[in-house]
């Protein structure tokens, strides 16, 4: 299997910590400078987007890891199929069919030899 990075370079915990610190600073400044409440509310709303974005980044990262895993398995199945064909195995396509079936990408009528 190729050496593929398995995660994002974003450190979600660090982002959460910095976001929380920024929100605390905004809250303290809002208390000290009440004359610009509207600006503080807008800034607080902007900072509130960060946890939502982090959740989406985590979800997409999980999907990416699954996609990379599935791709690696398909590449391995393709290589096994090519080797089986070279060695004149009677059902060289078995490996590709088996992996496609495992990934839910092959209709049942194609599971067996024609």
Q: pLDDT of 15-36, one tens digit each?
A: 889 888 888 888 888 888 877 8
Which candidate, 87, 80, 86, 85, places its Cα nearest to that of 100?
80
Q: Measured between alpha carbons, how far is 84 from 92 in angstroms, rounded to an integer?
A: 5
Q: Measured between alpha carbons, how far is 83 from 33 in angstroms, rounded to an integer?
A: 73
| pTM reported for the whole predicted model | 0.66
Task: Give the other-Cβ count within 10 Å of 36's Cβ.
Answer: 12
Average pLDDT, the chain: 87
Confidence bin at 1 (pLDDT 50/70/90): very low
Which candidate, 19, 66, 69, places its Cα nearest to that of 44?
19
């Amino acid at each position: 299997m190729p050496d593929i990075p398995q995660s994002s370079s974003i450190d979600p915990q660090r982002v959460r910590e910095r976001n929380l610190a920024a929100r605390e600073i905004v809250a303290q400044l809002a208390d000290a400078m009440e004359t610009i409440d509207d600006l503080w509310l807008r800034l607080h709303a902007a900072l509130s987007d960060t946890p939502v974005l982090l959740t989406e980044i985590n979800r997409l990262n999980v999907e990416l890891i699954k996609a990379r895993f599935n791709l690696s398995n398909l590449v391995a199945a393709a290589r096994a199929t090519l080797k089986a064909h070279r060695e004149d195995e009677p059902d060289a396509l078995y490996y590709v069919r088996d992996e496609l079936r495992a990934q839910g990408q092959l209709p049942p009528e194609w599971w067996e030899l024609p």
